[in-house]
Structure 1
Amino acid sequence: MLIKEVESFIEEDLGYDDVSCTIVPDKPAEAIIFTKEDCTVAGIKEAESIFCYLGIQAETTLKDGDRLKEGEIIFRVKGGAVSILRAERLALNFLGHLSGIATLTRVCVDTVRKYSVTTRVACTRKTTPGLRKFEKLAVAAGGGDTHRFNLSDSVMIKDNHVKLMGIEAAIEAAKKTSFTRKIEVEVESVEHAVLAAELGADIIMLDNMKPEAIQKTLQTLNRKGLRNSVIVEASGGISQENLESYAKTEVDVISMGSLIHKSRWIDMSLEIVK
Protein backbone atom coordinates (compact mmCIF):
# COMPACT_ATOMS: atom_id res chain seq x y z
CA MET A 1 0.00 0.00 0.00
CA LEU A 2 1.35 3.43 -0.93
CA ILE A 3 2.03 5.92 1.86
CA LYS A 4 -0.44 8.38 0.32
CA GLU A 5 -3.11 5.67 0.42
CA VAL A 6 -2.41 4.86 4.07
CA GLU A 7 -2.52 8.54 4.96
CA SER A 8 -5.79 9.02 3.11
CA PHE A 9 -7.44 6.09 4.90
CA ILE A 10 -6.12 7.22 8.30
CA GLU A 11 -7.27 10.80 7.70
CA GLU A 12 -10.75 9.58 6.83
CA ASP A 13 -11.00 7.50 10.00
CA LEU A 14 -9.34 9.85 12.53
CA GLY A 15 -10.78 13.16 11.41
CA TYR A 16 -9.31 16.39 12.74
CA ASP A 17 -9.85 15.83 16.49
CA ASP A 18 -9.51 12.22 17.60
CA VAL A 19 -11.25 12.36 20.96
CA SER A 20 -11.98 8.62 21.08
CA CYS A 21 -8.41 7.29 21.23
CA THR A 22 -6.63 10.17 22.93
CA ILE A 23 -8.60 9.79 26.20
CA VAL A 24 -6.58 6.60 26.74
CA PRO A 25 -3.17 6.90 28.48
CA ASP A 26 -0.54 6.37 25.78
CA LYS A 27 1.40 3.54 27.39
CA PRO A 28 2.94 0.42 25.85
CA ALA A 29 0.37 -2.22 24.99
CA GLU A 30 0.07 -5.57 23.26
CA ALA A 31 -2.86 -6.99 21.33
CA ILE A 32 -3.91 -9.85 19.11
CA ILE A 33 -6.06 -9.89 15.98
CA PHE A 34 -7.98 -13.11 15.45
CA THR A 35 -10.72 -14.47 13.22
CA LYS A 36 -14.09 -15.35 14.71
CA GLU A 37 -14.96 -17.72 11.87
CA ASP A 38 -13.33 -20.05 9.34
CA CYS A 39 -11.98 -18.16 6.33
CA THR A 40 -9.36 -17.71 3.65
CA VAL A 41 -7.37 -14.74 4.87
CA ALA A 42 -6.44 -11.70 2.76
CA GLY A 43 -5.36 -8.15 3.53
CA ILE A 44 -2.20 -9.11 5.44
CA LYS A 45 0.04 -6.63 3.61
CA GLU A 46 -2.53 -3.86 3.82
CA ALA A 47 -2.83 -4.30 7.58
CA GLU A 48 0.97 -4.38 7.90
CA SER A 49 1.19 -1.07 6.03
CA ILE A 50 -1.22 0.53 8.49
CA PHE A 51 0.64 -0.83 11.53
CA CYS A 52 4.01 0.24 10.12
CA TYR A 53 2.86 3.79 9.41
CA LEU A 54 1.60 4.16 12.99
CA GLY A 55 4.80 2.76 14.48
CA ILE A 56 3.30 -0.52 15.62
CA GLN A 57 5.28 -3.76 15.63
CA ALA A 58 3.18 -6.45 13.96
CA GLU A 59 4.10 -10.13 13.87
CA THR A 60 2.46 -12.83 11.75
CA THR A 61 3.41 -16.10 10.11
CA LEU A 62 0.49 -15.92 7.67
CA LYS A 63 0.23 -14.87 4.04
CA ASP A 64 -2.74 -14.02 1.86
CA GLY A 65 -4.53 -17.19 0.79
CA ASP A 66 -3.94 -19.18 3.99
CA ARG A 67 -7.00 -20.98 5.32
CA LEU A 68 -7.85 -20.28 8.95
CA LYS A 69 -10.10 -21.85 11.55
CA GLU A 70 -12.26 -19.89 13.97
CA GLY A 71 -10.18 -18.43 16.78
CA GLU A 72 -6.82 -18.51 14.99
CA ILE A 73 -4.55 -15.52 15.60
CA ILE A 74 -3.62 -13.44 12.56
CA PHE A 75 -1.42 -10.76 14.15
CA ARG A 76 0.31 -10.09 17.44
CA VAL A 77 0.99 -6.38 17.76
CA LYS A 78 3.00 -4.18 20.15
CA GLY A 79 3.08 -0.41 20.39
CA GLY A 80 1.60 2.66 21.98
CA ALA A 81 -1.96 2.16 23.18
CA VAL A 82 -3.25 5.18 21.26
CA SER A 83 -1.66 4.00 18.01
CA ILE A 84 -3.06 0.49 18.39
CA LEU A 85 -6.57 1.86 18.94
CA ARG A 86 -6.19 4.14 15.91
CA ALA A 87 -5.08 1.22 13.74
CA GLU A 88 -7.73 -1.17 15.01
CA ARG A 89 -10.77 -0.41 12.86
CA LEU A 90 -8.84 0.39 9.71
CA ALA A 91 -6.81 -2.84 9.86
CA LEU A 92 -9.89 -4.91 10.70
CA ASN A 93 -11.87 -3.32 7.86
CA PHE A 94 -9.26 -4.36 5.30
CA LEU A 95 -8.80 -7.82 6.78
CA GLY A 96 -12.53 -8.49 7.11
CA HIS A 97 -13.51 -7.16 3.69
CA LEU A 98 -10.67 -8.72 1.71
CA SER A 99 -10.85 -12.03 3.57
CA GLY A 100 -14.54 -12.16 2.71
CA ILE A 101 -13.71 -11.84 -0.99
CA ALA A 102 -10.91 -14.41 -0.75
CA THR A 103 -13.15 -16.83 1.13
CA LEU A 104 -15.99 -16.66 -1.39
CA THR A 105 -13.51 -16.96 -4.26
CA ARG A 106 -11.97 -20.06 -2.71
CA VAL A 107 -15.40 -21.67 -2.34
CA CYS A 108 -16.17 -20.95 -6.02
CA VAL A 109 -12.78 -22.19 -7.24
CA ASP A 110 -13.21 -25.42 -5.25
CA THR A 111 -16.67 -25.87 -6.77
CA VAL A 112 -15.36 -25.49 -10.32
CA ARG A 113 -12.45 -27.87 -9.66
CA LYS A 114 -14.95 -30.70 -9.13
CA TYR A 115 -15.76 -30.51 -12.84
CA SER A 116 -12.74 -28.92 -14.54
CA VAL A 117 -9.05 -28.63 -13.70
CA THR A 118 -8.42 -25.92 -16.29
CA THR A 119 -11.36 -23.50 -16.01
CA ARG A 120 -10.37 -20.20 -14.40
CA VAL A 121 -12.67 -18.33 -12.02
CA ALA A 122 -12.23 -14.59 -12.54
CA CYS A 123 -13.63 -11.36 -11.14
CA THR A 124 -14.72 -8.29 -13.11
CA ARG A 125 -14.39 -4.49 -12.89
CA LYS A 126 -17.44 -4.39 -10.61
CA THR A 127 -15.35 -3.15 -7.71
CA THR A 128 -15.52 -0.49 -5.00
CA PRO A 129 -14.05 2.79 -6.35
CA GLY A 130 -10.66 3.37 -4.76
CA LEU A 131 -10.35 -0.23 -3.56
CA ARG A 132 -10.12 -2.12 -6.86
CA LYS A 133 -6.53 -3.28 -6.62
CA PHE A 134 -7.04 -4.53 -3.07
CA GLU A 135 -10.27 -6.35 -3.94
CA LYS A 136 -8.80 -7.94 -7.05
CA LEU A 137 -5.72 -9.09 -5.15
CA ALA A 138 -8.07 -10.66 -2.61
CA VAL A 139 -9.62 -12.63 -5.48
CA ALA A 140 -6.12 -13.81 -6.40
CA ALA A 141 -5.54 -14.82 -2.75
CA GLY A 142 -8.61 -17.02 -3.01
CA GLY A 143 -7.25 -18.74 -6.10
CA GLY A 144 -9.13 -16.67 -8.66
CA ASP A 145 -8.01 -14.68 -11.69
CA THR A 146 -7.93 -10.88 -11.49
CA HIS A 147 -9.08 -10.32 -15.10
CA ARG A 148 -8.43 -6.71 -16.25
CA PHE A 149 -7.37 -4.24 -13.58
CA ASN A 150 -8.39 -1.34 -15.82
CA LEU A 151 -9.37 -0.38 -19.36
CA SER A 152 -5.72 -0.21 -20.46
CA ASP A 153 -4.89 -3.85 -19.78
CA SER A 154 -6.60 -5.20 -22.88
CA VAL A 155 -9.25 -4.24 -25.41
CA MET A 156 -12.78 -5.35 -24.57
CA ILE A 157 -15.41 -4.82 -27.24
CA LYS A 158 -18.78 -4.80 -25.47
CA ASP A 159 -22.32 -4.65 -26.80
CA ASN A 160 -22.37 -0.85 -26.85
CA HIS A 161 -19.18 -0.79 -28.93
CA VAL A 162 -20.88 -3.07 -31.45
CA LYS A 163 -24.01 -0.90 -31.48
CA LEU A 164 -21.90 2.17 -32.17
CA MET A 165 -19.57 0.80 -34.85
CA GLY A 166 -20.32 -2.82 -35.66
CA ILE A 167 -18.32 -5.90 -34.66
CA GLU A 168 -16.07 -5.95 -37.76
CA ALA A 169 -15.05 -2.28 -37.47
CA ALA A 170 -14.56 -2.59 -33.72
CA ILE A 171 -12.18 -5.55 -34.04
CA GLU A 172 -10.29 -3.86 -36.89
CA ALA A 173 -9.84 -0.72 -34.77
CA ALA A 174 -8.76 -2.79 -31.77
CA LYS A 175 -6.05 -4.53 -33.80
CA LYS A 176 -4.50 -1.13 -34.56
CA THR A 177 -4.02 -0.19 -30.88
CA SER A 178 -1.04 -2.40 -29.98
CA PHE A 179 0.24 -5.87 -30.79
CA THR A 180 0.74 -6.49 -27.04
CA ARG A 181 -2.93 -6.19 -26.08
CA LYS A 182 -5.36 -9.07 -26.34
CA ILE A 183 -8.75 -8.36 -27.89
CA GLU A 184 -11.88 -9.62 -26.15
CA VAL A 185 -15.31 -9.47 -27.76
CA GLU A 186 -18.61 -9.73 -25.91
CA VAL A 187 -21.22 -11.73 -27.83
CA GLU A 188 -24.75 -12.92 -27.17
CA SER A 189 -25.18 -15.58 -29.87
CA VAL A 190 -23.40 -18.54 -31.42
CA GLU A 191 -23.24 -16.70 -34.76
CA HIS A 192 -21.45 -13.68 -33.29
CA ALA A 193 -19.07 -15.94 -31.38
CA VAL A 194 -18.06 -17.63 -34.62
CA LEU A 195 -17.74 -14.27 -36.41
CA ALA A 196 -15.54 -12.82 -33.65
CA ALA A 197 -13.28 -15.88 -33.79
CA GLU A 198 -13.02 -15.68 -37.58
CA LEU A 199 -12.12 -11.99 -37.35
CA GLY A 200 -9.20 -12.72 -35.02
CA ALA A 201 -10.49 -12.07 -31.50
CA ASP A 202 -8.29 -13.54 -28.77
CA ILE A 203 -11.07 -13.95 -26.22
CA ILE A 204 -14.80 -14.38 -26.70
CA MET A 205 -17.08 -13.48 -23.79
CA LEU A 206 -20.41 -15.30 -23.89
CA ASP A 207 -22.60 -12.73 -22.19
CA ASN A 208 -25.61 -13.91 -20.19
CA MET A 209 -25.73 -17.22 -22.04
CA LYS A 210 -27.26 -20.23 -20.31
CA PRO A 211 -25.07 -23.34 -19.88
CA GLU A 212 -26.87 -25.10 -22.74
CA ALA A 213 -26.09 -22.22 -25.12
CA ILE A 214 -22.48 -22.19 -23.96
CA GLN A 215 -22.15 -25.90 -24.75
CA LYS A 216 -23.63 -25.34 -28.20
CA THR A 217 -21.21 -22.45 -28.85
CA LEU A 218 -18.19 -24.52 -27.82
CA GLN A 219 -19.32 -27.40 -30.02
CA THR A 220 -19.84 -25.08 -33.00
CA LEU A 221 -16.42 -23.46 -32.57
CA ASN A 222 -14.85 -26.90 -32.36
CA ARG A 223 -16.65 -28.13 -35.47
CA LYS A 224 -15.46 -25.11 -37.44
CA GLY A 225 -11.87 -25.57 -36.28
CA LEU A 226 -11.88 -22.34 -34.27
CA ARG A 227 -11.98 -23.65 -30.69
CA ASN A 228 -8.24 -23.80 -30.09
CA SER A 229 -7.62 -20.30 -31.45
CA VAL A 230 -9.68 -18.46 -28.82
CA ILE A 231 -10.22 -18.29 -25.08
CA VAL A 232 -13.92 -18.62 -24.29
CA GLU A 233 -15.30 -16.84 -21.24
CA ALA A 234 -18.75 -17.16 -19.69
CA SER A 235 -20.06 -14.10 -17.87
CA GLY A 236 -23.27 -12.53 -16.64
CA GLY A 237 -25.60 -13.64 -13.85
CA ILE A 238 -23.24 -16.31 -12.51
CA SER A 239 -23.24 -16.76 -8.74
CA GLN A 240 -22.26 -19.32 -6.14
CA GLU A 241 -25.77 -20.78 -6.36
CA ASN A 242 -25.72 -21.61 -10.10
CA LEU A 243 -21.97 -22.01 -10.59
CA GLU A 244 -21.97 -25.81 -10.90
CA SER A 245 -24.02 -25.79 -14.08
CA TYR A 246 -21.54 -23.40 -15.72
CA ALA A 247 -18.53 -25.37 -14.44
CA LYS A 248 -19.86 -28.49 -16.14
CA THR A 249 -19.49 -26.80 -19.56
CA GLU A 250 -15.70 -26.70 -19.02
CA VAL A 251 -15.55 -23.24 -20.58
CA ASP A 252 -12.09 -21.65 -20.28
CA VAL A 253 -13.04 -18.79 -17.93
CA ILE A 254 -16.02 -18.09 -15.68
CA SER A 255 -16.09 -14.44 -14.66
CA MET A 256 -18.19 -13.42 -11.67
CA GLY A 257 -18.80 -9.88 -10.47
CA SER A 258 -20.42 -11.53 -7.45
CA LEU A 259 -17.00 -12.59 -6.10
CA ILE A 260 -16.67 -9.01 -4.91
CA HIS A 261 -20.09 -7.39 -4.72
CA LYS A 262 -21.78 -10.39 -3.08
CA SER A 263 -18.99 -11.34 -0.72
CA ARG A 264 -19.64 -11.19 3.02
CA TRP A 265 -17.19 -9.63 5.45
CA ILE A 266 -15.38 -12.05 7.77
CA ASP A 267 -15.84 -11.30 11.46
CA MET A 268 -12.48 -10.46 13.04
CA SER A 269 -11.49 -8.74 16.26
CA LEU A 270 -8.59 -6.98 17.98
CA GLU A 271 -8.18 -7.60 21.70
CA ILE A 272 -5.74 -5.93 24.10
CA VAL A 273 -3.89 -8.66 26.00
CA LYS A 274 -1.33 -6.64 28.02
Structure 2
Amino acid sequence: MALMTGSRSHIHMLHPVTLREKVREWLKEDTPNFDYGGFVVGEKIETAVLLCKSPGVLAGAPFFEAVFNELDCNVEWLVSDGVFMKPIFQCAKVTGKVRHILLGERVALNCITRSSGIATLARRLKECAKQNNWHGEIAGTRKTTPGFRMVEKYALLVGGISTHRYDLSSMIMLKDNHIWSSGNITQAVKDARSVGGFSTKIEVECRSLEEALEAAAAGSEVVMLDNFHPEVLHNTASKVKEKYPHALIEASGGVTEDSLPQYFGPCIDVISLSKTTQGYQTVDFSLKIQKSGHNPHNPLVEK
Protein backbone atom coordinates (compact mmCIF):
# COMPACT_ATOMS: atom_id res chain seq x y z
CA MET A 1 0.00 0.00 0.00
CA ALA A 2 1.31 3.46 -0.86
CA LEU A 3 2.18 5.99 1.80
CA MET A 4 -0.49 8.47 2.83
CA THR A 5 -0.08 11.97 1.44
CA GLY A 6 0.06 13.86 4.74
CA SER A 7 3.61 14.93 3.89
CA ARG A 8 5.73 14.60 0.79
CA SER A 9 7.39 11.19 0.60
CA HIS A 10 10.88 10.64 -0.80
CA ILE A 11 10.06 7.05 -1.74
CA HIS A 12 10.49 7.83 -5.44
CA MET A 13 14.22 8.49 -4.93
CA LEU A 14 14.72 4.80 -4.09
CA HIS A 15 15.61 2.49 -6.97
CA PRO A 16 13.13 -0.42 -6.73
CA VAL A 17 15.66 -3.06 -7.83
CA THR A 18 18.32 -1.78 -5.44
CA LEU A 19 15.78 -1.67 -2.62
CA ARG A 20 14.70 -5.28 -3.22
CA GLU A 21 18.30 -6.47 -3.39
CA LYS A 22 19.14 -4.68 -0.15
CA VAL A 23 16.13 -6.13 1.64
CA ARG A 24 17.04 -9.65 0.50
CA GLU A 25 20.58 -9.17 1.83
CA TRP A 26 19.24 -8.06 5.22
CA LEU A 27 16.79 -10.96 5.47
CA LYS A 28 19.43 -13.49 4.46
CA GLU A 29 21.84 -12.07 7.02
CA ASP A 30 19.25 -12.36 9.79
CA THR A 31 18.06 -15.86 8.83
CA PRO A 32 20.78 -17.62 6.85
CA ASN A 33 19.30 -21.09 7.34
CA PHE A 34 16.40 -22.45 9.42
CA ASP A 35 13.90 -20.22 11.25
CA TYR A 36 13.35 -22.16 14.46
CA GLY A 37 10.87 -19.68 15.96
CA GLY A 38 8.88 -19.68 12.75
CA PHE A 39 8.34 -23.43 13.08
CA VAL A 40 6.68 -22.81 16.44
CA VAL A 41 4.11 -20.22 15.25
CA GLY A 42 3.15 -21.71 11.88
CA GLU A 43 1.48 -20.01 8.93
CA LYS A 44 -1.92 -18.82 10.11
CA ILE A 45 -2.86 -15.29 9.01
CA GLU A 46 -2.37 -12.64 11.69
CA THR A 47 -2.21 -8.85 11.96
CA ALA A 48 0.52 -7.02 13.86
CA VAL A 49 0.51 -3.33 14.79
CA LEU A 50 3.55 -1.06 14.59
CA LEU A 51 3.74 1.07 17.73
CA CYS A 52 5.96 4.10 18.30
CA LYS A 53 6.94 4.23 21.98
CA SER A 54 9.10 7.37 22.12
CA PRO A 55 8.64 10.82 20.54
CA GLY A 56 10.13 11.32 17.13
CA VAL A 57 9.75 11.86 13.39
CA LEU A 58 8.62 8.82 11.42
CA ALA A 59 11.08 7.84 8.68
CA GLY A 60 11.94 4.61 6.91
CA ALA A 61 8.47 3.49 5.82
CA PRO A 62 9.67 2.35 2.35
CA PHE A 63 12.24 0.02 3.91
CA PHE A 64 9.83 -1.32 6.51
CA GLU A 65 7.25 -1.98 3.80
CA ALA A 66 9.78 -3.51 1.38
CA VAL A 67 10.84 -6.05 4.00
CA PHE A 68 7.29 -7.29 4.46
CA ASN A 69 6.45 -7.13 0.76
CA GLU A 70 9.35 -9.50 0.17
CA LEU A 71 7.68 -11.87 2.64
CA ASP A 72 4.23 -11.60 1.01
CA CYS A 73 2.78 -9.50 3.83
CA ASN A 74 0.60 -6.42 3.39
CA VAL A 75 1.42 -3.15 5.18
CA GLU A 76 -1.34 -0.61 5.83
CA TRP A 77 0.07 2.78 6.81
CA LEU A 78 -1.94 5.01 9.13
CA VAL A 79 0.52 7.91 8.88
CA SER A 80 3.27 8.99 6.48
CA ASP A 81 6.99 9.62 6.77
CA GLY A 82 7.80 13.07 8.13
CA VAL A 83 5.07 13.15 10.79
CA PHE A 84 6.09 13.82 14.39
CA MET A 85 4.69 11.17 16.73
CA LYS A 86 3.90 11.21 20.43
CA PRO A 87 3.83 7.81 22.16
CA ILE A 88 2.14 5.48 22.23
CA PHE A 89 1.32 5.89 18.55
CA GLN A 90 -0.02 3.30 16.12
CA CYS A 91 1.74 3.82 12.78
CA ALA A 92 0.83 0.82 10.65
CA LYS A 93 -0.65 -2.66 10.46
CA VAL A 94 1.08 -5.68 8.96
CA THR A 95 -1.03 -8.63 7.79
CA GLY A 96 0.24 -11.99 6.59
CA LYS A 97 1.39 -15.41 7.66
CA VAL A 98 2.51 -15.06 11.27
CA ARG A 99 5.76 -16.87 10.51
CA HIS A 100 6.53 -14.30 7.83
CA ILE A 101 5.63 -11.35 10.08
CA LEU A 102 8.06 -12.55 12.72
CA LEU A 103 10.67 -13.36 10.08
CA GLY A 104 10.73 -9.72 8.97
CA GLU A 105 10.07 -8.11 12.35
CA ARG A 106 13.61 -7.32 13.53
CA VAL A 107 14.95 -6.35 10.12
CA ALA A 108 12.07 -3.95 9.53
CA LEU A 109 12.30 -2.48 13.04
CA ASN A 110 16.06 -2.00 12.69
CA CYS A 111 15.41 0.14 9.62
CA ILE A 112 12.62 2.27 11.04
CA THR A 113 14.12 2.87 14.51
CA ARG A 114 17.40 4.12 13.09
CA SER A 115 15.88 6.02 10.19
CA SER A 116 13.43 7.78 12.49
CA GLY A 117 16.23 8.64 14.92
CA ILE A 118 18.20 10.33 12.15
CA ALA A 119 15.13 12.18 10.85
CA THR A 120 14.29 13.39 14.36
CA LEU A 121 17.76 14.84 14.86
CA ALA A 122 17.72 16.33 11.36
CA ARG A 123 14.38 18.01 12.10
CA ARG A 124 15.81 19.61 15.26
CA LEU A 125 18.83 20.92 13.34
CA LYS A 126 16.58 22.36 10.64
CA GLU A 127 14.39 24.06 13.26
CA CYS A 128 17.50 25.50 14.94
CA ALA A 129 18.56 27.12 11.66
CA LYS A 130 15.06 28.49 11.13
CA GLN A 131 14.90 29.95 14.63
CA ASN A 132 18.22 31.70 14.04
CA ASN A 133 17.14 33.04 10.60
CA TRP A 134 19.97 31.22 8.86
CA HIS A 135 19.10 30.11 5.34
CA GLY A 136 22.03 27.93 4.34
CA GLU A 137 22.15 24.13 4.04
CA ILE A 138 22.69 21.78 6.96
CA ALA A 139 24.10 18.52 5.67
CA GLY A 140 25.08 15.03 6.70
CA THR A 141 28.38 13.47 5.68
CA ARG A 142 29.67 10.26 4.08
CA LYS A 143 30.29 8.83 7.56
CA THR A 144 27.53 6.27 7.22
CA THR A 145 27.12 2.64 8.25
CA PRO A 146 28.41 0.18 5.60
CA GLY A 147 25.43 -1.44 3.89
CA PHE A 148 22.98 1.01 5.47
CA ARG A 149 23.79 4.23 3.61
CA MET A 150 20.58 4.29 1.59
CA VAL A 151 18.48 4.22 4.76
CA GLU A 152 20.55 6.90 6.50
CA LYS A 153 20.66 9.26 3.55
CA TYR A 154 16.92 8.83 3.01
CA ALA A 155 16.29 9.71 6.66
CA LEU A 156 18.23 12.97 6.32
CA LEU A 157 15.87 14.03 3.52
CA VAL A 158 12.78 13.14 5.54
CA GLY A 159 14.18 15.23 8.41
CA GLY A 160 14.57 18.18 6.04
CA ILE A 161 18.33 18.57 5.64
CA SER A 162 20.81 17.85 2.86
CA THR A 163 22.44 14.46 2.31
CA HIS A 164 25.74 16.01 1.10
CA ARG A 165 27.40 13.76 -1.51
CA TYR A 166 25.98 10.26 -1.59
CA ASP A 167 29.23 8.49 -2.45
CA LEU A 168 32.65 9.00 -4.04
CA SER A 169 31.05 9.18 -7.49
CA SER A 170 28.65 12.01 -6.59
CA MET A 171 31.10 14.89 -6.20
CA ILE A 172 34.87 15.31 -6.13
CA MET A 173 36.05 16.13 -2.63
CA LEU A 174 39.77 16.69 -2.22
CA LYS A 175 40.86 16.13 1.37
CA ASP A 176 44.25 16.45 3.04
CA ASN A 177 45.51 13.08 1.78
CA HIS A 178 44.59 13.98 -1.79
CA ILE A 179 46.42 17.31 -1.50
CA TRP A 180 49.55 15.80 0.05
CA SER A 181 49.68 13.07 -2.60
CA SER A 182 49.19 15.55 -5.45
CA GLY A 183 51.72 18.08 -4.17
CA ASN A 184 49.45 21.10 -3.74
CA ILE A 185 45.84 22.28 -3.98
CA THR A 186 46.18 23.86 -7.43
CA GLN A 187 47.55 20.68 -8.98
CA ALA A 188 44.95 18.51 -7.24
CA VAL A 189 42.08 20.68 -8.53
CA LYS A 190 43.57 20.68 -12.04
CA ASP A 191 43.79 16.88 -12.07
CA ALA A 192 40.29 16.55 -10.65
CA ARG A 193 38.89 18.83 -13.34
CA SER A 194 40.52 16.76 -16.06
CA VAL A 195 38.45 13.72 -15.04
CA GLY A 196 35.34 15.39 -13.62
CA GLY A 197 34.87 17.81 -16.50
CA PHE A 198 32.32 20.61 -16.39
CA SER A 199 29.51 18.51 -14.91
CA THR A 200 31.03 17.52 -11.56
CA LYS A 201 31.60 19.94 -8.70
CA ILE A 202 34.91 20.01 -6.88
CA GLU A 203 35.24 20.65 -3.15
CA VAL A 204 38.53 21.19 -1.32
CA GLU A 205 39.15 20.70 2.38
CA CYS A 206 41.12 23.68 3.69
CA ARG A 207 42.86 24.33 7.01
CA SER A 208 43.79 28.01 6.59
CA LEU A 209 42.82 31.21 4.78
CA GLU A 210 45.74 30.70 2.39
CA GLU A 211 44.54 27.25 1.42
CA ALA A 212 40.97 28.48 1.02
CA LEU A 213 42.04 31.28 -1.33
CA GLU A 214 44.18 28.88 -3.33
CA ALA A 215 41.31 26.43 -3.66
CA ALA A 216 38.91 29.12 -4.86
CA ALA A 217 41.50 30.52 -7.27
CA ALA A 218 42.11 27.04 -8.70
CA GLY A 219 38.41 26.71 -9.54
CA SER A 220 36.98 24.74 -6.66
CA GLU A 221 33.23 25.39 -6.47
CA VAL A 222 33.05 24.51 -2.77
CA VAL A 223 35.61 25.52 -0.16
CA MET A 224 35.42 23.52 3.05
CA LEU A 225 36.78 25.29 6.12
CA ASP A 226 37.65 22.32 8.28
CA ASN A 227 37.93 22.44 12.08
CA PHE A 228 37.91 26.23 12.28
CA HIS A 229 36.99 27.95 15.55
CA PRO A 230 33.71 29.82 14.85
CA GLU A 231 35.30 33.29 15.19
CA VAL A 232 38.14 32.41 12.82
CA LEU A 233 35.68 30.62 10.54
CA HIS A 234 33.51 33.68 9.91
CA ASN A 235 36.51 35.96 9.38
CA THR A 236 38.04 33.52 6.88
CA ALA A 237 34.77 32.95 5.05
CA SER A 238 34.27 36.71 4.71
CA LYS A 239 37.68 37.17 3.12
CA VAL A 240 37.16 34.31 0.68
CA LYS A 241 33.71 35.58 -0.31
CA GLU A 242 35.05 39.10 -0.77
CA LYS A 243 37.48 37.89 -3.44
CA TYR A 244 35.47 34.92 -4.79
CA PRO A 245 31.77 35.73 -4.20
CA HIS A 246 30.50 32.72 -6.13
CA ALA A 247 32.43 30.15 -4.09
CA LEU A 248 30.31 28.11 -1.70
CA ILE A 249 31.70 27.98 1.83
CA GLU A 250 31.17 24.85 3.91
CA ALA A 251 31.92 24.71 7.63
CA SER A 252 32.76 21.27 8.95
CA GLY A 253 34.59 19.52 11.75
CA GLY A 254 33.65 19.47 15.41
CA VAL A 255 30.13 20.84 14.90
CA THR A 256 27.57 19.55 17.40
CA GLU A 257 23.89 20.19 17.93
CA ASP A 258 24.73 22.48 20.86
CA SER A 259 27.42 24.44 19.03
CA LEU A 260 25.57 24.65 15.71
CA PRO A 261 24.29 28.25 16.17
CA GLN A 262 27.87 29.50 16.48
CA TYR A 263 28.49 28.45 12.87
CA PHE A 264 25.56 30.36 11.39
CA GLY A 265 26.71 33.39 9.45
CA PRO A 266 26.08 35.36 6.23
CA CYS A 267 29.17 33.92 4.49
CA ILE A 268 28.55 30.28 5.44
CA ASP A 269 26.54 28.35 2.85
CA VAL A 270 26.74 24.81 4.21
CA ILE A 271 27.33 23.29 7.65
CA SER A 272 28.00 19.55 7.75
CA LEU A 273 27.78 17.30 10.80
CA SER A 274 28.82 13.66 11.05
CA LYS A 275 26.63 13.25 14.14
CA THR A 276 23.59 13.13 11.87
CA THR A 277 24.51 9.53 10.99
CA GLN A 278 26.80 8.70 13.93
CA GLY A 279 25.77 8.61 17.57
CA TYR A 280 22.14 9.70 17.11
CA GLN A 281 19.40 8.49 19.45
CA THR A 282 17.02 5.98 17.91
CA VAL A 283 13.22 6.14 18.14
CA ASP A 284 11.65 3.21 19.99
CA PHE A 285 9.25 1.03 17.99
CA SER A 286 7.73 -2.39 18.55
CA LEU A 287 5.63 -4.73 16.43
CA LYS A 288 2.90 -6.58 18.30
CA ILE A 289 0.57 -9.32 17.08
CA GLN A 290 -2.91 -7.83 17.52
CA LYS A 291 -5.13 -9.60 19.99
CA SER A 292 -8.85 -9.84 19.33
CA GLY A 293 -10.65 -6.64 20.35
CA HIS A 294 -7.40 -4.79 21.03
CA ASN A 295 -7.29 -1.24 19.67
CA PRO A 296 -4.14 0.74 20.63
CA HIS A 297 -4.75 4.40 21.38
CA ASN A 298 -3.70 6.68 18.55
CA PRO A 299 -3.16 10.27 19.81
CA LEU A 300 -3.17 13.31 17.62
CA VAL A 301 -0.12 13.85 15.45
CA GLU A 302 1.89 16.99 14.78
CA LYS A 303 3.05 17.71 11.26
% identical equivalent positions: 36
SS of the equivalent of 2:167 reads: coil
Between the aligned partners of 2:285 and 2:96, the Cα distance in structure 1 is: 20
Give the match's secondary structure for 1:21. Answer: helix
Output aligned runs, 1:1-274, within 5 Å.
Answer: 2-165=19-182, 166-177=184-195, 178-224=197-243, 226-227=244-245, 229-248=246-265, 251-274=268-291
Deviates more, 1:249-258 or 1:49-58: 249-258
- Partner of residue 297, structure 2: none
Amino acid at match of 2:186: E
Please list the CA deviations of residues 58-114 of structure 1 after superposition, one character each: whole Å capped at 9, or x if unmatched.
Answer: 101433222211112111111111111111111111000111111111111111222
RMSD: 1.4
Q: State the shift of 1:185 in Å.
A: 0.7
Taking structure 2 as the reference length, the TM-score comes to: 0.86
TM-score, structure 1 as length reference: 0.95
1:249 positional shift? 6.0
Separation of aligned partners in 1, 2:194 and 2:32: 49
Give the superposition deviation at 1:250: 5.7
Q: CA deviation at 1:248?
A: 4.7
Query: Residues of 2 paired with 1:237 and 1:145: CA distance?
Result: 18
* Structure 2 portions without partners, runs of 5+: 1-17, 292-303
The number of residues matched between the two structures is 272
Where does the alignment leave 5 or more consecutive residues of structure 1 unmatched? none
The question of whether the paired residues in 2 share the 8 Å contact of 1:42 and 1:99 is answered with: yes
Structure 1 residue 144 displacement after superposition: 1.1
Q: How has the CA–CA distance of structure 1 residues 249 and 237 changed in structure 2, closer, same or farther, with 3 Å as cutoff?
A: farther
